[in-house]
């Protein structure tokens, strides 16, 4: 059996580095075969996952020899970190490796939603020429509100300011005297809704953040403001957002993460037909470049933990 099990996609050069030293099972679809996954984890010293593999309960119990878990990303809500800690299993997120990809995604979505000109290809080539309807707004001069002000949010802030935006942020976990606030205004959550033309979420999913963007918050936003969530599904109340969009409470939204993932046709039906909505499949942090960075960071950490020679 393999010492290292990789249950979701990973850069193949990074996989090869691990496989050169330790017996390795790599199957990007292993997450969809729970019985095979549980069997494989049984003798593994390391498990490498993305966001879909739920390492808790029976699967974690099956991993009786696990020494470490590599997370190809930064969110840890799919891993029972406390249970891993209790069993002295190290958990390694790929901190910082995909920050740039997420930041670029947020800025791109903000520009697309404000400009409102990029979804008209079919109408234009059909000869409708909807020029007046496509007149949108510039990002420059707008206020970008960040919910959470960690590493990714700071990347967004820097790019937004370079483009001529003012930035405000809400982060009760960051002390008011932290140097990160030097060029960004520290406001309340209500202040984000009141002041922002663009609201972007950058928080983990916890009991405190679940549905922090609810119908009350959405109604408090400016009617011409837009919302972007590339952080965690569940931080936004999806049903409330669909209602707010359909009733014109806000001007648009982009979701890369959802309360139900993968998003089913049934769960996605609430967003059907909304012209001011962008949906992507949890891909904001995954580019060709970031996949290489994330994969090799985790390979480095796992190899450091397991050593440079196989114990099998």
Active site residues: 232, 261, 282
Write the DSSP string, the chain: --SEEE-S---HHHHHHHHTTS-EEE-TTGGG-HHHHHHHHTT-SEEEE-SS--BSHHHHHH-TT--EEEESSS--TTB-HHHHHHTT-EEEE-TTTTHHHHHHHHHHHHHHHHH--TT-HHHHHTT---TGGG----STTPEEEEES-SHHHHHHHHHHHHTT-EEEEE-TTS-TT-GGGGGSEE--HHHHHHH-SEEEE-----TTTTTSB-HHHHHHS-TT-EEEE-S-TTSB-HHHHHHHHHTTSSSEEEES--SSSSPPHHHHGGGTT-TTEEE-SS-TT--HHHHHHHHHHHHHHHHHHH-SS---
- CA distances to 54, 95, 176 from 81, in Å: 11, 16, 29
Query: Tokens 């007046």 sit at which residue?
Result: 132
Distance (Å, whole) CA 111 – CA 159: 12
Distance (Å, whole) CA 165 – CA 184: 11
């Amino acid at each position: 059996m393999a010492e290292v099990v990789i249950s979701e996609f990973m850069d193949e050069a990074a996989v090869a580095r691990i496989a050169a030293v330790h017996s390795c099972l790599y199957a990007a679809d292993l997450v969809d075969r729970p019985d095979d996954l549980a069997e494989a984890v049984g003798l593994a010293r390391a498990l490498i996952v993305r966001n879909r593999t739920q390492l808790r309960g029976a699967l974690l119990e099956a991993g009786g020899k696990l020494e470490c878990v590599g997370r190809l990303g930064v969110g840890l809500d799919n891993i029972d970190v406390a249970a891993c800690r209790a069993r002295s299993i190290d958990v390694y997120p790929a901190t910082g490796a995909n920050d740039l990809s997420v930041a670029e995604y947020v800025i791109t979505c903000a520009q697309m939603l404000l400009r409102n000109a990029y979804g008209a290809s079919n109408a234009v080539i059909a000869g409708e020429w909807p020029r007046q309807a496509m007149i949108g707004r510039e990002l420059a001069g707008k206020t970008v509100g960040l919910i959470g002000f960690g590493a990714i949010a700071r990347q967004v802030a820097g790019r937004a300011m370079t483009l001529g935006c003012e930035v405000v942020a809400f982060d009760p976990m960051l002390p008011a005297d932290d140097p990160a606030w030097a060029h960004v205004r520290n406001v309340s959550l209500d202040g984000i809704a009141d002041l922002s033309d663009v609201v972007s979420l950058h928080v983990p999913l916890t009991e405190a953040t679940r549905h922090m963007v609810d119908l009350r918050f959405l109604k408090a936003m400016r009617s011409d403001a837009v919302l972007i969530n590339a952080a965690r599904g569940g931080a936004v109340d999806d049903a409330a957002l669909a209602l707010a969009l359909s009733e014109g409470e806000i001007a648009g939204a982009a979701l890369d993460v959802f309360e139900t993932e993968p998003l089913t046709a049934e769960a996605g039906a609430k967003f059907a037909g909304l012209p001011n909505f962008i949906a992507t499949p949890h891909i904001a942090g995954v580019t060709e470049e970031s996949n290489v960075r994330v994969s090799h960071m985790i390979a480095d950490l796992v190899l450091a933990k397991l050593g440079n020679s196989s114990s099998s």
